[in-house]
Chains A and B, each alone.
Chain A
């Protein structure tokens, strides 16, 4: 495993961990989730690397060993621009095909990347526990403004309730709605922290995490029109989610995939028994591994 750096378009030095296999023409890029860095994804990377896949684990700008203001971006699509710069950097090093994806917010950032830059040179997309929490109907739990949001959208009083149950509530981020709306209305406030994640477990476990998130960074992995983004996928995709995921429900993803991914695209959904939002990372390595084999094989056939 090698810690490497590349220069982004604004001159900042951004980090990525590189696990090269025998074949470095095809590489898997896994974007980490919010607050974390590539360090938390080494186990996942190593499991897939052992199967012969070249792995690239980037650190978001301001996270891990990458330069930048922690928890912030200069503009909402900067994360996707950084990813594009990384892909160009890898291409210069001989990588020809990329399998792109990520965990949690990282998977949404990758999906947004595909929406902005398209799927050229990307041969597969994977998402581990993608939290579709922006749209009212795809949330697992209600938030404070759910009722109002529902009424505006459907002109009907909300009849269902999705209360938060159990201790998982304490691990979920809290949004300051006043700051969020202020930032949405006045761009000058968009670098202000609007979302904060609570520390979980021991101090040592939280070391290196970036717990506050600005409006710009939140926008980089916010997906409002998930229908359009999923419908625009034209490469094979695999989504995994833990049975006990605290943020997303497998059935919601199943419905989204049934309705919004083209029937011409080969898509898979794997619900991992007993896994949670975080334990799904390493547990996803096995189902993703067999899927990757097929994707790479098809790519080889296509190139021949």
Chain B
């Protein structure tokens, strides 16, 4: 059973003797190491086999490459690309991740879209009990994608809208803000190896509050999703966050604590995922020469095919089977109401629409199991 995974292309067993230490950078291909800053952190980020059954992973504070781990069958799988884990059995969508992303804007406990696959953030130190270490390169076939030759340039809304699927695939996660697309564009356009982003320009809608919860409550057909009671679960996570804030000494406000401990690290991890693919690095700085107030990209008057509101409604008519059946079954009247509500919440941004569209895209084109959708 354990041997079967080696038949999958991109799966490689890493030999590590007891007591030996391996720099994590050695596991990444060359294109991930283009950034000038990365060699400095080489010795900071290591994996060590402390005994026959345990691995210690220690990431330096400036380790800016994406890294995930998954424990299955006493084997520790590690990889830089989340989609690689599908082929070794991590093919179930984690509903807790989705719920936390919806209601809080970030996941807790380093969760990812795939159940039991966890992110590793800069500065993390973990010990995992496993017998074997396996590194996952790209296990899915290469994605050739779309090559287009267009004579006329597209409008800005069209450019951003058409990039949403690609960015969702790169992050391998739904997202609820065009911010990621804009950064992806900047990464492509930027010639320097380091892209600086002002802290003030990061999305600000996060944390459990009534307005955000109302937006997503309206989108759910039932209060119980995949066997998880939404209110009970979000209250539980909220209590967990509050007790963590209290344990920290409550020196700063809850909002600041959430941002520093949960939201910014998650956003930075996502940004690093985008940057790593281009061989660049992203740094969050206190201020940069960037405009912080940018007008929303999409509007109700956009051309219908690139109108995110209409797409949101359209996608559930043509429909992703899973979403349209259980998660978001939204007849036109209800979805029009939800759209109005989310506009009030997000001041012109389209959180729920972008979130649902990007999630739908991933579920349509990747072999993901979405679990017990009827929750019985």
Contacts and interface: CB of A to CB of B under 8 A. Distances in A.
Asked if A pairs with B, the answer is yes
A268 B332 contact: no
A250 B144 CA distance: 20
B150 A255 contact: no
A154 B305 contact: no
Contacts, number: 113
By secondary structure, the B interface counts as helix
A136 B313 CA distance: 13
A155 B306 CA distance: 18
A253 to B, nearest CB: 9
Contact of A256 (B143, B158, B305): B305
Contact of B365 (A227, A263, A271, A287): A263
Contacts of B4: none
Interface string A224-266: 0101100100000000000100000011101111110111111
B146 A251 contact: no
Given A152-B332, A153-B313, A156-B336, A255 B145 contact: no
A265 B144 contact: yes
A263 B143 contact: yes
A211 to B, nearest CB: 30
Contacts of A259: 162, 165, 311, 361
A173 to B, nearest CB: 22
Q: How large is the interface on B (under 10, 10 to 19, 20 to 34, 35 or more residues)?
A: 35 or more
Interface in A143-197: 150, 152-156, 159-160
Contacts of A269: 146-150
B129 to A, nearest CB: 36
B147 A267 contact: yes
Nearest to A152: B332
B19 interface: no
A138 interface: yes
B364 A231 contact: yes
B304 interface: yes
Contact of A255 (B141, B161, B169, B309): B161
A255 B152 contact: no
Given A138-B305, A228-B318, A255-B158, A154 B313 contact: yes
Contacts of B150: 250-251, 254, 269, 271
29 contacts: A137-B305, A137-B310, A137-B314, A138-B305, A153-B313, A153-B317, A153-B332, A155-B332, A155-B336, A156-B336, A250-B150, A251-B150, A251-B152, A251-B154, A254-B146, A254-B148, A255-B162, A255-B305, A255-B306, A257-B148, A258-B166, A259-B165, A259-B361, A263-B165, A263-B166, A263-B169, A266-B144, A268-B148, A269-B149
Interface of B: 140-141, 143-152, 154, 158, 161-162, 165-166, 169, 300-307, 309-311, 313-315, 317-318, 332-333, 335-336, 361, 364-365
Interface of A: 136-138, 150, 152-156, 159-160, 225, 227-228, 231, 243, 250-252, 254-259, 261-273, 287
